[in-house]
Structure 1
Amino acid sequence: MSNQFYPGAHIAELFFPLSNNENSVLQVIQKIVAGGYYRGFETGIIHQPEIAKSIRELAEQNKMHVTQWLTFELLKDNLNLGSLDKMLRETSIKRACELVHLAAECGTSKLSLVSGSDPGAARREEAKEGFAEALIRIGEVVNQYPGMLMQVEPLDRFAHKRQLIGPTGETVTWMTRLRADCPHLYLAWDSAHVALNEEDLAESLRLAAPLISQLHLANAILDPQAQGYGDYHMKFGEPGFLTDATAAHIVATAKDLPLPPELGEISIAVEMRTTADDDLWDNESQCRAFLQRALAAAQ
Protein backbone atom coordinates (compact mmCIF):
# COMPACT_ATOMS: atom_id res chain seq x y z
CA MET A 1 0.00 0.00 0.00
CA SER A 2 1.36 3.41 -0.99
CA ASN A 3 1.72 6.23 1.52
CA GLN A 4 -0.29 9.39 1.07
CA PHE A 5 1.17 12.86 1.46
CA TYR A 6 -0.54 16.16 2.11
CA PRO A 7 0.92 19.45 0.86
CA GLY A 8 2.23 21.86 3.47
CA ALA A 9 3.19 25.54 3.26
CA HIS A 10 6.43 26.37 5.06
CA ILE A 11 5.28 29.88 5.98
CA ALA A 12 8.26 30.54 8.25
CA GLU A 13 10.56 30.33 5.20
CA LEU A 14 8.31 31.34 2.28
CA PHE A 15 7.30 34.48 4.16
CA PHE A 16 10.49 34.89 6.18
CA PRO A 17 10.51 38.74 6.06
CA LEU A 18 7.14 38.73 7.86
CA SER A 19 8.09 36.18 10.52
CA ASN A 20 8.50 38.72 13.34
CA ASN A 21 5.09 40.28 12.68
CA GLU A 22 2.48 37.93 14.08
CA ASN A 23 -0.43 39.88 12.59
CA SER A 24 1.15 39.47 9.15
CA VAL A 25 1.72 35.74 9.78
CA LEU A 26 -1.98 35.36 10.64
CA GLN A 27 -2.95 37.17 7.42
CA VAL A 28 -0.72 34.80 5.42
CA ILE A 29 -2.30 31.78 7.11
CA GLN A 30 -5.78 33.10 6.35
CA LYS A 31 -4.88 33.47 2.67
CA ILE A 32 -3.18 30.04 2.58
CA VAL A 33 -6.29 28.43 4.09
CA ALA A 34 -8.60 30.30 1.70
CA GLY A 35 -6.50 29.10 -1.26
CA GLY A 36 -7.70 25.56 -0.63
CA TYR A 37 -4.56 23.70 -1.78
CA TYR A 38 -2.47 23.23 1.35
CA ARG A 39 -3.59 21.00 4.20
CA GLY A 40 -0.94 22.10 6.67
CA PHE A 41 1.42 24.96 7.42
CA GLU A 42 4.63 25.59 9.36
CA THR A 43 5.48 28.66 11.44
CA GLY A 44 7.66 29.78 14.30
CA ILE A 45 6.19 30.12 17.80
CA ILE A 46 3.32 32.61 18.20
CA HIS A 47 3.31 34.72 21.37
CA GLN A 48 0.11 36.78 21.17
CA PRO A 49 -2.75 34.76 22.71
CA GLU A 50 -5.47 36.21 20.47
CA ILE A 51 -3.49 35.39 17.32
CA ALA A 52 -2.73 31.87 18.59
CA LYS A 53 -6.46 31.39 19.22
CA SER A 54 -7.30 32.57 15.69
CA ILE A 55 -4.74 30.17 14.18
CA ARG A 56 -6.06 27.26 16.22
CA GLU A 57 -9.66 27.99 15.20
CA LEU A 58 -8.68 28.34 11.53
CA ALA A 59 -6.82 25.03 11.66
CA GLU A 60 -9.64 23.21 13.42
CA GLN A 61 -12.39 24.57 11.17
CA ASN A 62 -10.47 23.74 8.00
CA LYS A 63 -8.86 20.47 9.18
CA MET A 64 -5.36 21.91 8.73
CA HIS A 65 -2.24 20.45 10.37
CA VAL A 66 -0.07 22.93 12.31
CA THR A 67 3.70 22.50 12.60
CA GLN A 68 5.76 24.92 14.67
CA TRP A 69 9.52 25.32 14.98
CA LEU A 70 11.31 26.14 18.25
CA THR A 71 14.51 26.81 16.31
CA PHE A 72 14.03 30.55 15.83
CA GLU A 73 13.18 31.17 19.49
CA LEU A 74 16.11 29.18 20.84
CA LEU A 75 18.64 30.74 18.44
CA LYS A 76 17.38 34.21 19.30
CA ASP A 77 18.56 33.69 22.89
CA ASN A 78 21.68 31.68 21.95
CA LEU A 79 20.20 28.58 23.56
CA ASN A 80 21.36 25.06 22.74
CA LEU A 81 19.57 21.88 23.81
CA GLY A 82 22.66 19.78 23.12
CA SER A 83 25.19 22.03 24.83
CA LEU A 84 27.97 20.50 26.92
CA ASP A 85 27.54 23.46 29.28
CA LYS A 86 25.05 22.02 31.76
CA MET A 87 23.78 25.42 32.89
CA LEU A 88 23.14 26.54 29.33
CA ARG A 89 21.46 23.24 28.52
CA GLU A 90 19.24 23.54 31.60
CA THR A 91 18.22 27.08 30.61
CA SER A 92 17.53 25.85 27.08
CA ILE A 93 15.37 22.95 28.28
CA LYS A 94 13.30 25.20 30.54
CA ARG A 95 12.72 27.66 27.72
CA ALA A 96 11.76 24.89 25.30
CA CYS A 97 9.27 23.48 27.82
CA GLU A 98 7.66 26.94 28.12
CA LEU A 99 7.38 27.10 24.34
CA VAL A 100 5.52 23.78 24.21
CA HIS A 101 2.60 25.44 26.02
CA LEU A 102 2.60 28.34 23.55
CA ALA A 103 2.60 25.89 20.64
CA ALA A 104 -0.37 24.09 22.14
CA GLU A 105 -2.34 27.34 22.10
CA CYS A 106 -2.02 27.30 18.29
CA GLY A 107 -3.26 23.72 18.04
CA THR A 108 0.18 22.52 17.00
CA SER A 109 0.40 18.84 16.13
CA LYS A 110 4.12 18.73 15.32
CA LEU A 111 6.58 20.53 17.58
CA SER A 112 9.89 20.76 15.74
CA LEU A 113 13.48 21.39 16.75
CA VAL A 114 17.14 20.83 15.92
CA SER A 115 20.00 19.64 18.07
CA GLY A 116 22.57 22.42 18.28
CA SER A 117 26.19 22.43 17.21
CA ASP A 118 28.43 19.37 17.02
CA PRO A 119 31.30 19.53 19.56
CA GLY A 120 33.46 17.14 17.52
CA ALA A 121 34.04 13.41 17.61
CA ALA A 122 35.73 13.33 21.02
CA ARG A 123 32.71 14.68 22.91
CA ARG A 124 29.87 13.86 20.50
CA GLU A 125 28.44 10.97 22.54
CA GLU A 126 28.45 13.10 25.68
CA ALA A 127 26.55 15.84 23.83
CA LYS A 128 24.06 13.32 22.46
CA GLU A 129 23.37 12.10 26.00
CA GLY A 130 22.65 15.67 27.06
CA PHE A 131 20.39 16.26 24.08
CA ALA A 132 18.57 12.99 24.78
CA GLU A 133 17.90 14.16 28.34
CA ALA A 134 16.55 17.43 26.92
CA LEU A 135 14.18 15.63 24.55
CA ILE A 136 12.88 13.33 27.29
CA ARG A 137 12.06 16.31 29.50
CA ILE A 138 10.49 18.32 26.69
CA GLY A 139 8.63 15.18 25.64
CA GLU A 140 7.05 14.93 29.09
CA VAL A 141 5.48 18.35 28.51
CA VAL A 142 4.47 17.44 24.95
CA ASN A 143 2.70 14.37 26.37
CA GLN A 144 0.32 16.70 28.23
CA TYR A 145 -1.24 17.53 24.85
CA PRO A 146 -2.86 14.58 23.07
CA GLY A 147 -2.26 14.77 19.36
CA MET A 148 1.06 16.61 19.64
CA LEU A 149 4.31 14.90 18.65
CA MET A 150 7.90 16.11 18.71
CA GLN A 151 10.15 15.92 15.67
CA VAL A 152 13.89 16.49 15.34
CA GLU A 153 15.37 17.57 12.03
CA PRO A 154 18.87 16.14 11.45
CA LEU A 155 21.09 18.76 9.82
CA ASP A 156 24.41 18.55 8.01
CA ARG A 157 27.36 17.50 10.11
CA PHE A 158 30.38 18.96 8.32
CA ALA A 159 29.34 21.10 5.34
CA HIS A 160 27.64 24.15 6.80
CA LYS A 161 25.35 23.92 9.84
CA ARG A 162 27.67 21.40 11.57
CA GLN A 163 25.05 20.02 13.91
CA LEU A 164 25.21 17.31 16.54
CA ILE A 165 22.38 15.27 15.01
CA GLY A 166 23.13 14.70 11.33
CA PRO A 167 23.89 11.52 9.33
CA THR A 168 20.81 9.34 8.91
CA GLY A 169 22.13 5.95 10.04
CA GLU A 170 23.65 7.34 13.22
CA THR A 171 20.53 9.39 13.91
CA VAL A 172 18.14 6.47 13.45
CA THR A 173 20.16 4.22 15.78
CA TRP A 174 20.24 6.93 18.46
CA MET A 175 16.61 7.95 18.06
CA THR A 176 15.27 4.37 18.04
CA ARG A 177 16.98 3.73 21.37
CA LEU A 178 15.70 7.03 22.78
CA ARG A 179 12.09 6.31 21.90
CA ALA A 180 11.78 3.92 24.85
CA ASP A 181 11.82 7.05 27.05
CA CYS A 182 10.42 9.47 24.46
CA PRO A 183 7.74 7.56 22.54
CA HIS A 184 6.30 10.50 20.59
CA LEU A 185 9.64 11.38 18.98
CA TYR A 186 9.90 11.45 15.19
CA LEU A 187 12.26 12.59 12.45
CA ALA A 188 11.73 15.51 10.06
CA TRP A 189 13.58 14.54 6.87
CA ASP A 190 15.22 17.33 4.87
CA SER A 191 16.71 16.65 1.43
CA ALA A 192 19.32 19.45 1.58
CA HIS A 193 20.92 18.21 4.78
CA VAL A 194 20.95 14.60 3.60
CA ALA A 195 22.64 15.66 0.36
CA LEU A 196 25.16 17.88 2.19
CA ASN A 197 26.01 14.90 4.40
CA GLU A 198 26.92 13.18 1.09
CA GLU A 199 24.27 10.51 1.60
CA ASP A 200 22.19 8.80 -1.05
CA LEU A 201 18.69 10.30 -0.83
CA ALA A 202 16.80 7.04 -1.39
CA GLU A 203 18.95 5.11 1.08
CA SER A 204 18.50 7.82 3.72
CA LEU A 205 14.73 7.65 3.25
CA ARG A 206 14.78 3.85 3.60
CA LEU A 207 16.80 4.03 6.81
CA ALA A 208 14.67 6.76 8.37
CA ALA A 209 11.25 5.59 7.14
CA PRO A 210 9.86 4.13 10.41
CA LEU A 211 10.52 7.47 12.16
CA ILE A 212 9.66 10.03 9.46
CA SER A 213 6.89 12.48 10.33
CA GLN A 214 7.38 14.94 7.44
CA LEU A 215 9.43 15.66 4.35
CA HIS A 216 11.10 18.91 3.33
CA LEU A 217 12.07 19.36 -0.30
CA ALA A 218 15.06 21.66 0.20
CA ASN A 219 17.79 22.60 -2.24
CA ALA A 220 21.54 23.18 -1.82
CA ILE A 221 24.72 23.60 -3.80
CA LEU A 222 26.84 20.51 -3.13
CA ASP A 223 30.22 21.46 -4.60
CA PRO A 224 32.48 22.59 -1.72
CA GLN A 225 34.41 24.79 -4.14
CA ALA A 226 31.34 26.58 -5.51
CA GLN A 227 29.92 29.86 -4.31
CA GLY A 228 26.81 29.22 -2.23
CA TYR A 229 27.92 25.78 -0.99
CA GLY A 230 25.80 24.81 2.01
CA ASP A 231 22.26 25.11 3.29
CA TYR A 232 20.98 28.56 2.42
CA HIS A 233 17.35 27.57 1.77
CA MET A 234 17.82 28.46 -1.87
CA LYS A 235 15.26 28.20 -4.65
CA PHE A 236 14.75 24.77 -6.26
CA GLY A 237 16.58 23.93 -9.50
CA GLU A 238 20.14 24.41 -10.69
CA PRO A 239 22.82 25.25 -9.62
CA GLY A 240 21.47 23.21 -6.69
CA PHE A 241 20.73 19.48 -6.84
CA LEU A 242 16.95 19.68 -6.26
CA THR A 243 15.53 19.55 -9.77
CA ASP A 244 11.99 18.46 -10.70
CA ALA A 245 13.31 14.96 -11.36
CA THR A 246 15.06 14.73 -7.98
CA ALA A 247 11.98 15.94 -6.12
CA ALA A 248 9.82 13.37 -7.93
CA HIS A 249 12.39 10.67 -7.08
CA ILE A 250 12.20 11.59 -3.37
CA VAL A 251 8.40 11.46 -3.31
CA ALA A 252 8.23 8.26 -5.37
CA THR A 253 10.72 6.56 -3.05
CA ALA A 254 8.96 7.66 0.14
CA LYS A 255 5.57 6.66 -1.25
CA ASP A 256 6.36 2.93 -0.93
CA LEU A 257 8.32 2.91 2.34
CA PRO A 258 7.07 1.76 5.77
CA LEU A 259 6.38 5.22 7.21
CA PRO A 260 4.80 5.34 10.71
CA PRO A 261 1.27 3.95 10.23
CA GLU A 262 -0.04 5.76 13.32
CA LEU A 263 0.51 9.11 11.60
CA GLY A 264 -1.65 8.38 8.57
CA GLU A 265 -0.71 10.96 5.96
CA ILE A 266 2.72 12.64 6.00
CA SER A 267 3.23 16.33 5.26
CA ILE A 268 5.53 17.43 2.46
CA ALA A 269 6.65 21.03 1.93
CA VAL A 270 9.11 23.02 -0.14
CA GLU A 271 11.61 24.89 2.00
CA MET A 272 12.75 28.10 0.35
CA ARG A 273 13.62 31.29 2.22
CA THR A 274 12.57 34.63 0.81
CA THR A 275 14.03 38.09 1.34
CA ALA A 276 12.43 41.52 1.66
CA ASP A 277 13.26 42.11 -2.03
CA ASP A 278 11.20 39.12 -3.20
CA ASP A 279 7.60 39.00 -4.35
CA LEU A 280 6.53 36.68 -1.54
CA TRP A 281 3.30 35.43 -3.08
CA ASP A 282 4.96 34.85 -6.44
CA ASN A 283 7.59 32.72 -4.67
CA GLU A 284 4.82 30.82 -2.88
CA SER A 285 3.13 30.22 -6.24
CA GLN A 286 6.37 28.88 -7.74
CA CYS A 287 6.97 26.56 -4.78
CA ARG A 288 3.38 25.32 -4.92
CA ALA A 289 3.74 24.50 -8.61
CA PHE A 290 7.05 22.69 -7.93
CA LEU A 291 5.41 20.64 -5.16
CA GLN A 292 2.43 19.83 -7.39
CA ARG A 293 4.75 18.61 -10.16
CA ALA A 294 6.70 16.41 -7.72
CA LEU A 295 3.55 14.83 -6.31
CA ALA A 296 2.04 14.29 -9.76
CA ALA A 297 5.21 12.78 -11.22
CA ALA A 298 5.50 10.33 -8.32
CA GLN A 299 2.02 8.86 -8.88
Structure 2
Amino acid sequence: MKPTLYPSAHIAELFFPLANDEKAILQVIQQVAVTDYYQGFETGIIKHPEIAKTIRSIAQQNHLHVTQWLTFELLRDNLNLSSLDSALREKSIRRACELVHLAAECGTTKLSLVSGSDPGDARREEAKKGFGEALIRIGEAVKQYPTMLMQVEPLDRFAHKCQLIGPTDETVEWMTTLRAECPKLYLAWDSAHVALNEEDLADSLRLAAPLISQLHLANAILDPQAEGYGDYHMKFGEPGFLTPRTAAHIIRTALSLPLPPELGPISIAVEMRTTEQDDLWDNEKQCRAFLQTAMAEAVQEA
Protein backbone atom coordinates (compact mmCIF):
# COMPACT_ATOMS: atom_id res chain seq x y z
CA MET A 1 0.00 0.00 0.00
CA LYS A 2 1.37 3.41 -1.01
CA PRO A 3 1.72 6.03 1.74
CA THR A 4 -0.68 8.94 1.72
CA LEU A 5 -0.61 12.39 3.30
CA TYR A 6 -3.44 14.47 4.68
CA PRO A 7 -3.43 18.29 5.03
CA SER A 8 -3.29 19.70 8.53
CA ALA A 9 -3.69 23.30 9.75
CA HIS A 10 -0.87 24.41 12.03
CA ILE A 11 -3.10 26.64 14.14
CA ALA A 12 -0.45 27.19 16.81
CA GLU A 13 1.68 29.06 14.25
CA LEU A 14 -0.86 30.42 11.75
CA PHE A 15 -2.81 31.98 14.61
CA PHE A 16 0.11 32.58 16.95
CA PRO A 17 -1.19 35.91 18.33
CA LEU A 18 -4.21 34.02 19.72
CA ALA A 19 -2.10 31.38 21.48
CA ASN A 20 -3.07 32.46 24.99
CA ASP A 21 -6.78 32.89 24.22
CA GLU A 22 -8.31 29.41 24.29
CA LYS A 23 -11.77 30.66 23.36
CA ALA A 24 -10.33 32.29 20.26
CA ILE A 25 -8.45 29.09 19.39
CA LEU A 26 -11.70 27.17 19.72
CA GLN A 27 -13.34 29.56 17.24
CA VAL A 28 -10.47 29.00 14.81
CA ILE A 29 -10.86 25.23 15.12
CA GLN A 30 -14.58 25.54 14.45
CA GLN A 31 -13.81 27.51 11.28
CA VAL A 32 -11.07 25.13 10.16
CA ALA A 33 -13.45 22.20 10.61
CA VAL A 34 -15.81 23.57 7.96
CA THR A 35 -13.18 24.45 5.33
CA ASP A 36 -13.72 21.05 3.71
CA TYR A 37 -9.97 20.79 3.16
CA TYR A 38 -8.06 20.07 6.35
CA GLN A 39 -8.17 16.64 7.93
CA GLY A 40 -6.28 17.65 11.05
CA PHE A 41 -4.99 20.58 13.09
CA GLU A 42 -2.18 21.42 15.51
CA THR A 43 -2.37 23.50 18.67
CA GLY A 44 -0.65 23.99 21.99
CA ILE A 45 -2.09 22.36 25.12
CA ILE A 46 -5.62 23.41 26.05
CA LYS A 47 -6.16 23.80 29.79
CA HIS A 48 -9.86 24.73 30.11
CA PRO A 49 -11.85 21.47 30.52
CA GLU A 50 -14.98 22.62 28.69
CA ILE A 51 -13.02 23.99 25.75
CA ALA A 52 -11.03 20.75 25.56
CA LYS A 53 -14.25 18.75 25.58
CA THR A 54 -15.70 20.88 22.77
CA ILE A 55 -12.53 20.52 20.69
CA ARG A 56 -12.65 16.76 21.11
CA SER A 57 -16.28 16.74 19.98
CA ILE A 58 -15.54 18.89 16.91
CA ALA A 59 -12.64 16.63 15.96
CA GLN A 60 -14.74 13.49 16.31
CA GLN A 61 -17.71 14.88 14.41
CA ASN A 62 -15.55 16.12 11.53
CA HIS A 63 -13.10 13.19 11.51
CA LEU A 64 -10.15 15.49 12.26
CA HIS A 65 -6.80 14.35 13.67
CA VAL A 66 -5.56 16.40 16.64
CA THR A 67 -1.88 17.18 17.19
CA GLN A 68 -0.77 19.11 20.25
CA TRP A 69 2.61 20.52 21.22
CA LEU A 70 4.00 20.44 24.76
CA THR A 71 6.77 22.81 23.72
CA PHE A 72 4.99 26.07 24.52
CA GLU A 73 4.06 25.00 28.06
CA LEU A 74 7.49 23.62 28.87
CA LEU A 75 9.29 26.72 27.60
CA ARG A 76 6.90 28.99 29.48
CA ASP A 77 7.94 27.31 32.73
CA ASN A 78 11.66 27.17 31.79
CA LEU A 79 11.55 23.39 31.75
CA ASN A 80 13.92 21.15 29.82
CA LEU A 81 13.46 17.42 29.27
CA SER A 82 17.10 16.91 28.31
CA SER A 83 18.65 19.06 31.03
CA LEU A 84 21.86 17.81 32.63
CA ASP A 85 20.42 19.08 35.93
CA SER A 86 18.61 15.97 37.17
CA ALA A 87 16.28 17.97 39.44
CA LEU A 88 15.16 20.21 36.57
CA ARG A 89 14.79 17.21 34.28
CA GLU A 90 12.63 15.43 36.87
CA LYS A 91 10.44 18.52 37.28
CA SER A 92 10.12 18.72 33.50
CA ILE A 93 9.13 15.05 33.20
CA ARG A 94 6.44 15.40 35.85
CA ARG A 95 4.97 18.42 34.10
CA ALA A 96 5.09 16.71 30.72
CA CYS A 97 3.20 13.72 32.11
CA GLU A 98 0.51 16.06 33.47
CA LEU A 99 0.22 17.59 30.00
CA VAL A 100 -0.28 14.14 28.44
CA HIS A 101 -3.54 13.82 30.34
CA LEU A 102 -4.65 17.33 29.36
CA ALA A 103 -3.93 16.51 25.72
CA ALA A 104 -6.02 13.36 25.98
CA GLU A 105 -9.02 15.49 26.97
CA CYS A 106 -8.83 17.10 23.51
CA GLY A 107 -8.67 13.73 21.78
CA THR A 108 -5.06 14.29 20.79
CA THR A 109 -3.57 11.57 18.62
CA LYS A 110 -0.07 13.05 18.26
CA LEU A 111 1.64 14.43 21.34
CA SER A 112 4.62 16.48 20.17
CA LEU A 113 7.77 17.83 21.77
CA VAL A 114 11.38 18.83 21.20
CA SER A 115 14.60 18.34 23.14
CA GLY A 116 16.49 21.02 24.99
CA SER A 117 19.69 22.78 23.98
CA ASP A 118 22.79 20.91 22.90
CA PRO A 119 25.44 20.87 25.69
CA GLY A 120 28.29 20.26 23.22
CA ASP A 121 30.34 17.27 22.19
CA ALA A 122 31.66 16.40 25.62
CA ARG A 123 28.26 15.91 27.30
CA ARG A 124 25.94 15.24 24.36
CA GLU A 125 25.62 11.51 24.97
CA GLU A 126 24.88 12.13 28.64
CA ALA A 127 22.11 14.56 27.67
CA LYS A 128 20.70 12.12 25.10
CA LYS A 129 20.61 9.40 27.75
CA GLY A 130 18.70 11.68 30.12
CA PHE A 131 16.29 12.76 27.38
CA GLY A 132 15.72 9.13 26.41
CA GLU A 133 14.86 8.27 30.00
CA ALA A 134 12.45 11.21 30.07
CA LEU A 135 10.70 10.00 26.91
CA ILE A 136 10.33 6.49 28.34
CA ARG A 137 8.64 7.97 31.43
CA ILE A 138 6.36 10.17 29.34
CA GLY A 139 5.69 7.20 27.06
CA GLU A 140 4.27 5.30 30.03
CA ALA A 141 1.65 8.02 30.42
CA VAL A 142 0.97 8.00 26.67
CA LYS A 143 0.38 4.23 26.76
CA GLN A 144 -2.79 4.86 28.78
CA TYR A 145 -4.36 6.28 25.61
CA PRO A 146 -4.41 3.66 22.82
CA THR A 147 -4.89 6.17 19.98
CA MET A 148 -2.11 8.52 21.09
CA LEU A 149 1.50 8.47 19.94
CA MET A 150 4.45 10.65 20.91
CA GLN A 151 6.61 12.45 18.34
CA VAL A 152 9.89 14.32 18.71
CA GLU A 153 10.86 17.03 16.25
CA PRO A 154 14.61 17.23 15.60
CA LEU A 155 15.76 20.85 15.35
CA ASP A 156 18.89 22.46 13.95
CA ARG A 157 22.09 21.70 15.84
CA PHE A 158 24.36 24.67 15.07
CA ALA A 159 22.55 27.31 12.98
CA HIS A 160 19.97 28.86 15.29
CA LYS A 161 18.05 26.70 17.77
CA CYS A 162 21.16 24.65 18.66
CA GLN A 163 19.22 21.69 20.01
CA LEU A 164 20.35 18.34 21.36
CA ILE A 165 18.28 16.28 18.90
CA GLY A 166 19.10 17.44 15.40
CA PRO A 167 20.89 15.70 12.48
CA THR A 168 18.78 12.98 10.91
CA ASP A 169 21.30 10.13 10.88
CA GLU A 170 22.16 10.60 14.56
CA THR A 171 18.50 11.03 15.50
CA VAL A 172 17.35 7.90 13.68
CA GLU A 173 20.07 5.78 15.29
CA TRP A 174 19.24 7.09 18.77
CA MET A 175 15.48 6.84 18.30
CA THR A 176 15.56 3.33 16.82
CA THR A 177 17.40 2.07 19.88
CA LEU A 178 15.10 3.95 22.25
CA ARG A 179 11.93 2.52 20.67
CA ALA A 180 12.67 -0.86 22.26
CA GLU A 181 11.49 0.74 25.52
CA CYS A 182 9.33 3.48 24.00
CA PRO A 183 7.49 1.82 21.09
CA LYS A 184 5.01 4.67 20.49
CA LEU A 185 7.82 7.12 19.71
CA TYR A 186 7.96 8.69 16.23
CA LEU A 187 9.70 11.54 14.40
CA ALA A 188 8.14 14.83 13.30
CA TRP A 189 10.13 15.91 10.23
CA ASP A 190 10.65 19.63 9.59
CA SER A 191 12.16 20.91 6.34
CA ALA A 192 13.67 24.10 7.83
CA HIS A 193 15.67 22.29 10.47
CA VAL A 194 16.90 19.66 8.04
CA ALA A 195 18.03 22.38 5.64
CA LEU A 196 19.69 24.39 8.43
CA ASN A 197 21.56 21.25 9.46
CA GLU A 198 22.92 21.36 5.88
CA GLU A 199 21.36 18.01 5.01
CA ASP A 200 19.89 16.98 1.69
CA LEU A 201 16.10 17.00 2.09
CA ALA A 202 15.48 13.78 0.16
CA ASP A 203 18.31 11.92 1.92
CA SER A 204 16.95 12.97 5.29
CA LEU A 205 13.47 11.76 4.37
CA ARG A 206 14.82 8.40 3.23
CA LEU A 207 16.76 7.90 6.46
CA ALA A 208 13.86 8.90 8.69
CA ALA A 209 10.99 7.32 6.69
CA PRO A 210 10.28 4.32 8.97
CA LEU A 211 9.83 6.70 11.93
CA ILE A 212 8.09 9.69 10.35
CA SER A 213 4.64 10.52 11.75
CA GLN A 214 4.27 14.03 10.37
CA LEU A 215 5.78 16.51 7.92
CA HIS A 216 6.21 20.27 8.35
CA LEU A 217 6.86 22.43 5.31
CA ALA A 218 8.87 25.19 6.96
CA ASN A 219 11.00 27.85 5.32
CA ALA A 220 14.33 29.38 6.32
CA ILE A 221 17.13 31.56 5.02
CA LEU A 222 20.17 29.30 4.67
CA ASP A 223 22.98 31.78 4.06
CA PRO A 224 24.83 32.32 7.39
CA GLN A 225 25.83 35.80 6.24
CA ALA A 226 22.30 36.90 5.34
CA GLU A 227 19.88 38.80 7.55
CA GLY A 228 17.25 36.41 8.89
CA TYR A 229 19.47 33.33 8.81
CA GLY A 230 17.89 30.61 10.95
CA ASP A 231 14.49 29.24 11.85
CA TYR A 232 12.09 32.16 12.23
CA HIS A 233 8.99 30.38 10.89
CA MET A 234 9.05 32.75 7.92
CA LYS A 235 6.67 32.84 5.00
CA PHE A 236 7.29 30.38 2.16
CA GLY A 237 9.22 31.52 -0.92
CA GLU A 238 12.35 33.60 -1.42
CA PRO A 239 14.62 34.68 0.19
CA GLY A 240 14.10 31.32 1.89
CA PHE A 241 14.60 27.96 0.19
CA LEU A 242 11.00 26.67 0.40
CA THR A 243 9.48 27.37 -3.01
CA PRO A 244 6.43 25.49 -4.36
CA ARG A 245 8.83 23.34 -6.38
CA THR A 246 10.90 22.41 -3.32
CA ALA A 247 7.75 21.64 -1.35
CA ALA A 248 6.52 19.40 -4.19
CA HIS A 249 9.90 17.63 -4.18
CA ILE A 250 9.55 16.94 -0.45
CA ILE A 251 6.01 15.61 -0.87
CA ARG A 252 6.88 13.51 -3.92
CA THR A 253 9.84 11.97 -2.08
CA ALA A 254 7.77 11.23 1.02
CA LEU A 255 5.07 9.54 -1.05
CA SER A 256 7.69 7.21 -2.54
CA LEU A 257 9.03 6.02 0.82
CA PRO A 258 8.02 3.31 3.32
CA LEU A 259 6.40 5.56 5.92
CA PRO A 260 5.14 3.69 9.03
CA PRO A 261 2.29 1.49 7.73
CA GLU A 262 0.70 1.21 11.16
CA LEU A 263 -0.11 4.94 11.11
CA GLY A 264 -2.02 5.04 7.85
CA PRO A 265 -2.05 8.53 6.27
CA ILE A 266 0.25 11.02 8.01
CA SER A 267 -0.19 14.77 8.33
CA ILE A 268 1.54 17.52 6.41
CA ALA A 269 1.27 21.20 7.37
CA VAL A 270 2.77 24.52 6.38
CA GLU A 271 4.52 26.09 9.37
CA MET A 272 4.41 29.88 9.21
CA ARG A 273 4.16 32.11 12.26
CA THR A 274 1.96 35.19 12.12
CA THR A 275 2.13 38.44 14.08
CA GLU A 276 -0.52 40.79 15.45
CA GLN A 277 -0.04 42.96 12.37
CA ASP A 278 -1.02 40.13 10.01
CA ASP A 279 -4.40 39.28 8.58
CA LEU A 280 -4.48 35.83 10.16
CA TRP A 281 -7.13 34.27 7.95
CA ASP A 282 -5.55 35.68 4.81
CA ASN A 283 -2.27 34.05 5.84
CA GLU A 284 -4.10 30.78 6.44
CA LYS A 285 -5.57 30.97 2.93
CA GLN A 286 -2.13 31.62 1.45
CA CYS A 287 -0.66 28.63 3.29
CA ARG A 288 -3.58 26.46 2.23
CA ALA A 289 -3.10 27.47 -1.42
CA PHE A 290 0.65 26.82 -1.17
CA LEU A 291 0.04 23.33 0.23
CA GLN A 292 -2.61 22.55 -2.38
CA THR A 293 -0.31 23.66 -5.20
CA ALA A 294 2.65 21.66 -3.88
CA MET A 295 0.60 18.51 -3.36
CA ALA A 296 -0.96 18.76 -6.82
CA GLU A 297 2.45 19.27 -8.46
CA ALA A 298 3.93 16.35 -6.51
CA VAL A 299 1.21 13.98 -7.67
CA GLN A 300 1.47 15.15 -11.29
CA GLU A 301 5.20 14.54 -11.43
CA ALA A 302 5.20 11.29 -9.46
| Residue of structure 1 equivalent to 2:194 | 194
1:204 aligns with 2:165: no
Matches within 5 A, 1:123-142: 123-142=123-142
Residue 87 of structure 1 deviates from its aligned partner by 0.2
Q: Within 2, Cα distance between the matches of 1:14 and 1:3?
A: 26
1:2 shift after superposition: 2.9
Amino acid corresponding to residue 132 of structure 1 in structure 2: G
Q: Is the 8 A contact 2:42 2:67 kept in 1?
A: yes
Q: Give CA-to-partner distance per residue, 1:230-252, whole Å, 9 cap, x none.
A: 00000000000000100000000
Matched, 1:172 2:169: no
Q: How does 1:4-19 map to 2 (within 5 A)?
A: 4-19=4-19
Which residue pairs with 1:226 in the alignment?
226
Q: Deviations over 1:88-141 (max 9, x none)?
A: 000000000000000000000000000010000000000000000000000000
CA contact (8 A) 2:3 2:261 kept: no
Residue 3 of structure 1 and its aligned partner are, at CA, apart by 1.4
Amino acid at match of 1:25: I
What is the SS of the residue equivalent to 1:94? Answer: helix
> Secondary structure at the residue paired with 1:55?
helix
CA deviation profile, 1:136-192 (whole Å, cap 9, x unmatched) = 000000000010000000000000000000000000000000000000000000000
Q: TM-score, normalised by structure 2?
A: 0.99
Q: Which amino acid in the other structure matches residue 252 of structure 1?
A: R
Q: CA deviation at 1:36?
A: 1.2
Partner of 2:42: 42
Partner of 2:62: 62
Q: Which residue of 2 aligns with 1:217?
A: 217
Give every structure 1 segment of 4 or more consecutive aligned residues whose post-TM-superposition deviation is greater than 2 Å. Answer: none
Aligned to 2:283: 283
**Unmatched runs of 5 consecutive residues or more in structure 1:** none
Cα displacement (A) at 1:298: 0.7
RMSD: 0.4
Deviations 1:68-104 (A, max 9, x none): 0000000000000000000000000000000000000
Show CA shifts across 1:46-68 (max 9, x none).
00000000000000111100000
CA distance, structure 2, for counterparts of residue 116 and residue 279 of structure 1: 32
SS of residue matched to 1:298: helix
User: Match of 2:215, as an amino acid?
Assistant: L
- SS in structure 2 at match of 1:35: coil
Tell me which residue corresponds to 1:96: 96
Letter of the 1:31 partner, please give it.
Q
SS at match of 2:34: helix
Rounded to whole Å, the distance in 2 between the matches of 1:201 and 1:273 is 22
Matched, 1:30 2:30: yes
